[in-house]
Amino acid sequence: MDHFGYRQDQLFAEDVSLSLIAEEVGTPCYVYSRATLERHYRAFDSAFGDFPHSICYAVKANGNLAVLQVLERLGCGFDIVSGGELDRVLAAGGRAEQVVFSGVGKSTAEIRDALSRGVRILSVESEAELERISEVSQRLGKEAAVALRINPDVDPGTHPYIATGLRENKFGVPFVDAVRLYQKAHALKGIRPAGIACHIGSQLTQVTPFCDALEKVLDLVAELKTHGIELDHLDLGGGLGIRYADENPPSPGDYIEALLATLRRRGCQMHVTLEPGRSIVGNAGVLLTQVEYTKAGPDQDFAIVDAAMNDLLRPSLYQAWHEVVEVNRAGGRPTHRYDVVGPVCESGDWLARDRMLSIASGDFLAIRSSGAYGFVMSSNYNARPRPAEVMVDGESFHIVRERESTASLFAGEHLLP
């Protein structure tokens, strides 16, 4: 459920008309709904009841400071995959103790920084990384809490680019190596094996793969116990899907209920962490764009809009489908079938294909479900300044990131003497 919808013929975010935002802030522009973010976080948090848990929002889905701030104020923690994301969390008012640090390629500097600031736990994705964390931690005179990220070899049934828990993926350590690596972690100085983690992919629309992965991880926890290694943190990652088109993903409540059933049946007493990204922020954002031109083609018509693949990469990268709707439906325009494309000089620069739209030059469109993996994946390709970001809160809205200027794009460049 989200707080975007029509009042008469006008699309609103909460109590603010999106036409008004497009006129005042300009386009392209991302618009987020605070009420939607809060609703989604609470759906996760409350489904756990009194089972000990943490919800650590995956910052990579949308790292805007105001998004992090809204979640932090509800008591949400954070999952980060870089030192830059740690800086963002702290700048938004978060604390390092609320942070779990994942990612396959943590640099020495990132590890040092994370440990000295006191992040709660590091997910370790290779033997070499385990050794590096041990060295850095000893130099700092610390004991780093770590979880090994296990690759459970479970097929999440999602796009190949966002499947992460298959044997051939670069993520995590193989299941068969886990016991040996935990024994090594146990023996290494500066390290405390505190937990176990897995994250099998993104945009999952079934609970079965999550439960299969959980069973495998719990088997491993039991086996480790027989070797005298007791873990108290269980991190099940993120990955719950959202509805872009006609998908029917489980609700956060149904998903957590399924996990809890397994956890209870297996008598698990561990503290459970989830790292949802997309399912918190995906349907809490839209990308507003303006139609520049319509153009008749031999086979289909084009709606050439002012947003492009540099602003929203998902269609080009994953052939992702986003709903595209008219912001004002009262225009009485003729309806045609369009490919919605941007101004970037690539044939791969399209946002939506084969859509029936009633539009003319100057009209605004909203590209829905753009809150996750939208702005964060944007670039300056074709010297395009990145869009503004706006947060709607009830009857008001706030610019939470200013539109870039072209001058800012080359501010760090130098001409030869």
Ligand X SMILES: *Cc1c(COP(=O)(O)O)cnc(C)c1O
Residue carrying the six token digits 């995959």: 81
- Of 28 and 238, nearer to ligand X (C-beta) is 238
- The reply to whether 238 sits near ligand X by the rule CB under 6 A is yes
Whole-number minimum distance, CB 156 to ligand X, in Å? 10
C-alpha distances out from residue 12 to 5, 16, 18, 324, Å:
5, 5, 5, 14
User: In the chain, helix, strand, coil percent, each to 5?
Assistant: 35, 25, 40
- The reply to whether 54 sits near ligand X by the rule CB under 6 A is no
Asked whether 314 and 320 are in contact (CB, 8 A), the reply is yes
Radius of gyration of the chain (CA): 23
Q: Which two tokens stand for residue 83?
A: 């030192």
> Residue 122: how many CB atoms within 10 A of its CB?
29
Q: Which of 77, 156, 195, 239 binds ligand X (CB under 6 A)?
A: 239
d(CA 20, CA 22): 5
Whole-number minimum distance, CB 344 to ligand X, in Å? 25
Close Cβ partners of 9 (under 8 Å, ≥ 6 residues apart): 328, 329, 330
- The reply to whether 60 sits near ligand X by the rule CB under 6 A is yes
- Of 233 and 278, nearer to ligand X (C-beta) is 278
- The reply to whether 28 sits near ligand X by the rule CB under 6 A is no
Q: Which of 2, 275, 349, 363 binds ligand X (CB under 6 A)?
A: 275
Asked whether 383 and 310 are in contact (CB, 8 A), the reply is no
Q: Which of residues 97-136 bind ligand X (CB under 6 A)?
A: 102
Asked whether 363 and 10 are in contact (CB, 8 A), the reply is no
- Of 47 and 240, nearer to ligand X (C-beta) is 240
d(CA 394, CA 371): 18
d(CA 412, CA 191): 40
d(CA 396, CA 389): 14
- The reply to whether 199 sits near ligand X by the rule CB under 6 A is yes
Stretch in the footprint of ligand X (CB under 6 A) among 19-27, 56-64, 178-186, 299-307: 56-64
d(CA 121, CA 96): 10
Stretch in the footprint of ligand X (CB under 6 A) among 25-33, 276-284, 311-319, 395-403: 276-284
Stretch in the footprint of ligand X (CB under 6 A) among 27-35, 274-282, 314-322, 378-386: 274-282
Q: How many CA atoms lie within 13 A of 391 on its CB side?
A: 18
- Of 170 and 264, nearer to ligand X (C-beta) is 170
Taken in order 104, 110, 114, 115, is the CA torsion positive or negative? positive
Residues annotated as catalytic are 345
Stretch in the footprint of ligand X (CB under 6 A) among 235-243, 263-271, 287-295, 308-316: 235-243
Q: Which of 28, 83, 195, 277 binds ligand X (CB under 6 A)?
A: 277
d(CA 296, CA 311): 24
Could you give the residue ranges of the DSSP H alpha helices within 275-336? Answer: 278-281, 314-318
Helix axis angle, 252-265 to 208-226, nearest 10°: 30
- The reply to whether 374 sits near ligand X by the rule CB under 6 A is no
- Of 277 and 315, nearer to ligand X (C-beta) is 277
Stretch in the footprint of ligand X (CB under 6 A) among 82-90, 236-244, 302-310, 389-397: 236-244
Give the SS3 label for residue 6.
strand
Q: Which of 2, 14, 45, 79 binds ligand X (CB under 6 A)?
A: 79
- The reply to whether 276 sits near ligand X by the rule CB under 6 A is yes
- The reply to whether 172 sits near ligand X by the rule CB under 6 A is no
Whole-number minimum distance, CB 238 to ligand X, in Å? 3
Helix (H) or strand (E) holding 288: strand 285-296
- The reply to whether 64 sits near ligand X by the rule CB under 6 A is no
- Of 78 and 350, nearer to ligand X (C-beta) is 78
Residue window 131-170: x/- pattern of binding to ligand X, with contact defined by CB under 6 A: ----------------------------------------
- The reply to whether 85 sits near ligand X by the rule CB under 6 A is no
Stretch in the footprint of ligand X (CB under 6 A) among 1-9, 18-26, 58-66, 326-334: 58-66
Footprint of ligand X (CB under 6 A): 58, 60-61, 79, 81, 102, 199, 202, 237-240, 275-279, 372
